Structure 1
Amino acid sequence: MRFPELEELKNRRTLKWTRFPEDVLPLWVAESDFGTCPPLKEAMADAVEREVFGYPPDATGLNDALAGFYERRYGFGPKPESVFAIPDVVRGLKLAIEHFTKPGSAIIVPLPAYPPFIELPKVTGRQAIYIDAHEYDLKEIEKAFADGAGSLLFCNPHNPLGTVFSEEYIRELTDIAAKYDARIIVDEIHAPLVFEGTHVVAAGVSKNAANTCITITATSKAWNTAGLKCAQIFFTNEADVKAWKNLSDITRDGVSILGLIAAETVYNEGEEFLDESIQILKDNRDFAAAELEKLGVKVYAPDSTYLMWLDFAGTKIEEAPSKILREEGKVMLNDGAAFGGFTTCARLNFACSRETLEEGLRRIASVL
């Protein structure tokens, strides 16, 4: 695995590297510092050479590529004809709420949550019912459905806690949803990055799961393609497929043709790169967790993905850890307040070289 030099990373000019002054080391937003997957880089260079800048074609190989990847990697793949490209995961979540849940019904949002999850009830005109994501208590979820909630935003693996949910848990969860004619809206964007064991595709565990789940995923995290604007939504019952096809193109459109090429490429040819990435991330996770625990930080070591939830309660920076670390340590972590009011917490991105991670941890230690 090649890690670009610091100046190369800065020259990417992405959000991660432009939001804060150059003397601040960015360990925040979910962009990785890894070099690009070689087949992906070749596919993008080829597309540019061929001047592939027009409208996306009606048919591509993405559907088969995703279905094949899911089957190989997780043991369950959707039917290719039930897979559809969308611009990004958040758009998919919004469309699922607006068109596949009971009109006006409340949304269950586990906290802490990826910040757009907190915004989605507001932008869709729904009420939010918040539950504790540390527990994900089924009794609490059932009560919310019994009280009229129409859906649950289910991030599996979870961002920011890194929880990977078991088949048994998902089966019980989807049985409860089916009982109340509710929907489980599943965000599987972090699924390729499970560290131990195999990711469980929620929609594949039972008939109830197939009928209640709407699954949304993307190559954005595992292969660092967020800017290419191509996520995927897939359905596991025919009624949902039919309903999706009846939506206006204006509602669904916005996918990038380069994103289509990128996603198809990495699903077909990106697993060697993925496996290498996972090993590096596991090593970084273990190293960072051990070092931060020595500093008195409560660490939620993730079972998937490269984002680590940290609680600085009891340390001298507990009142505003992200702000203080940025100002005094010149290292940027995501502010836990944005994930649902967790003011003593922060989220650290460890998808970087060991050298960068060591420097980031040194800066954190200098403040603590």
Structure 2
Amino acid sequence: MIRDYTDEEARRALLLKWGMAAADEIPAWVAEMDYALAPPVAEALAEAVSRGVVGYPPLETGGELGKAYAGFAARHYDQEVDPGQVLPVVDVTAGVRVALDVLSEPGPMVMPVPAYSPQLEVAQVTGRERVDLVVDADAERAGIDLDRLDRLLADGARTLLLTQPHNPWGRVFTRAELEGVRDVVLRHGARVISDEIHAPLVLPGARHLSYLAIEGTADHAVAVVAASKAFNTPGLRCAQIVTADPATRDRLAGAPLVRNDSWSPLGVIAAVAAYTHGDAWLAALVQRLGEQRSLLASLLAEHLPRARMRPLEATYLAWLDLRAYGHDEPASVIRERGRVWLEEGSRYQPGLAGHVRLNIATSPERLTEIVRRTAGALGS
């Protein structure tokens, strides 16, 4: 059910990931998958374009999009979502910004790092300071340091940006971990914005639990979700803010339109199709990604035995510690010598040396060549 793009198809379809790469490079950097569009999504889009659906989207909460997401959350996460508490936004990072602008008190925002690089400046854009909660690079499993979080909130921080499942760590947080975060946040009367865009991409062996599904979170938290990462449709521009408290929903819905960039009607149609008819394709995707995870582990053991891969519990983005190979910026070395384009770890945590993020959502043959070239470039 998962069809790999050929190189030629990928260059035509993935204009950023493949279109910006040189002819002799294999791109494995930005979070796009080298797979053809899910048929239910492709069919819904083609039908919509044939009807001329290229105008403004309806300005509503809930609606067909809310119903579709509520059904998806019930099936995949055993989570009860009120469709009327689902609000469209242009993308997840914009949703985080809107939530900060509308809901959060003035004061710093706590950001666990390494973190999704486009969000490193979201606090500053809203006039706030970012304070980093640095994850121990040598820890076996990355997690939130609750004592450090407690100190940062005690010192005046008012919001935690929680990314879960986490990019680039690949972590799925447990109920106990999320309850620990809740307890610290409640102690200080702070707020949580939970970026859950990777929730559909939890791999075999783990299970996603929304922060909003934890008791006692409704009045201080929102979740920002989208179908775009799991169904490879980021250019269609549609995400959702999920609330569990009517007062929170009303504050967001009542914000001036200028605070919420207009989402796309085609993005809404694609999301509804994905949430409603995409389960079989998504199951095949998760199976493929699980196989790619296993393949990567074998390839690293054979070709890059000194590399350290954090446990990959979700996403298709492997976080690799290559410090043992002696390069502060290994991605630049790998690109220059091996013609493989990876993401530099310092993009996710300024000053972090020796790490890279590798996108495994490609064919087994390409992934094998990526690791082979990387090993040759590092001289392993």
TM-score, normalised to structure 1, is 0.96
Match of 1:313 in 2: 323
Q: Within 1, Cα distance between the matches of 2:101 and 2:301?
A: 43
Match of 1:148 in 2: 156
Q: Within 1, Cα distance between the matches of 2:75 and 2:272?
A: 15
Q: Which moved more, 1:293-302 or 1:31-40?
A: 293-302
Match of 1:292 in 2: 300
Match of 1:17 in 2: 18
Match of 2:331 in 1: 322
Cα drift, residue 223 of structure 1: 0.3
Cα drift, residue 301 of structure 1: 3.0
Deviations 1:320-365 (A, max 9, x none): 2110111100000001111012221110000011111111111112
Residues 109 and 158 of structure 2 are in contact (CA less than 8 Å); yes or no, is this contact kept in structure 1? yes
Residues 99 and 252 of structure 2 are in contact (CA less than 8 Å); yes or no, is this contact kept in structure 1? no
Question: 1:117-136 alignment to 2 at 5 Å?
Answer: 117-133=119-135, 134-136=142-144
Q: Within 2, Cα distance between the matches of 1:293 and 1:110?
A: 29
Cα drift, residue 209 of structure 1: 1.4
Residues 320 and 357 of structure 2 are in contact (CA less than 8 Å); yes or no, is this contact kept in structure 1? yes
Q: Within 2, Cα distance between the matches of 1:64 and 1:120?
A: 29
What SS is found at the alignment partner of 2:309? strand
Cα drift, residue 233 of structure 1: 0.4
| Alignment partner of 1:355 is 2:365 | yes
Match of 2:77 in 1: 74
Q: Within 1, Cα distance between the matches of 2:192 and 2:313?
A: 22
Cα drift, residue 315 of structure 1: 0.6
Q: Within 1, Cα distance between the matches of 2:72 and 2:345?
A: 33
Aligned AA (1:367)? A
Residues 185 and 214 of structure 1 are in contact (CA less than 8 Å); yes or no, is this contact kept in structure 2? yes
Residues 167 and 317 of structure 2 are in contact (CA less than 8 Å); yes or no, is this contact kept in structure 1? yes
What SS is found at the alignment partner of 1:211? coil
Residues 312 and 321 of structure 1 are in contact (CA less than 8 Å); yes or no, is this contact kept in structure 2? yes
Of the three residues 36, 61, 77, the one matched with 2:64 is 61
Cα drift, residue 172 of structure 1: 1.9
Of the three residues 230, 233, 239, the one matched with 1:231 is 239
Cα drift, residue 253 of structure 1: 3.7
Corresponding residue pairs, total: 365
Q: CA RMSD of the aligned region, Å?
A: 1.3
Deviations 1:229-272 (A, max 9, x none): 00000111122112112201222241001000000010001111
What SS is found at the alignment partner of 1:210? coil
Residues 170 and 312 of structure 2 are in contact (CA less than 8 Å); yes or no, is this contact kept in structure 1? yes
Match of 1:281 in 2: 289
Structure 1 residue ranges without an equivalent (≥5): none
Q: Within 1, Cα distance between the matches of 2:262 and 2:275?
A: 21
| Alignment partner of 1:340 is 2:342 | no
Match of 2:117 in 1: 115
| Alignment partner of 1:365 is 2:368 | no
Q: Within 2, Cα distance between the matches of 1:145 and 1:86?
A: 28
Residues 109 and 117 of structure 1 are in contact (CA less than 8 Å); yes or no, is this contact kept in structure 2? no
Residues 293 and 299 of structure 1 are in contact (CA less than 8 Å); yes or no, is this contact kept in structure 2? no
| Alignment partner of 1:44 is 2:45 | yes
Deviations 1:264-306 (A, max 9, x none): 0100011111110001101111111232244111111310010
Deviations 1:9-68 (A, max 9, x none): 111152101223121110010000111111001101111111111111345411000011
What SS is found at the alignment partner of 2:217? helix
Cα drift, residue 135 of structure 1: 3.5
Residues 4 and 33 of structure 1 are in contact (CA less than 8 Å); yes or no, is this contact kept in structure 2? yes
Q: Within 1, Cα distance between the matches of 2:298 and 2:193?
A: 34
Q: Within 1, Cα distance between the matches of 2:58 and 2:104?
A: 30
Aligned AA (1:170)? L
Structure 2 residue ranges without an equivalent (≥5): 136-141
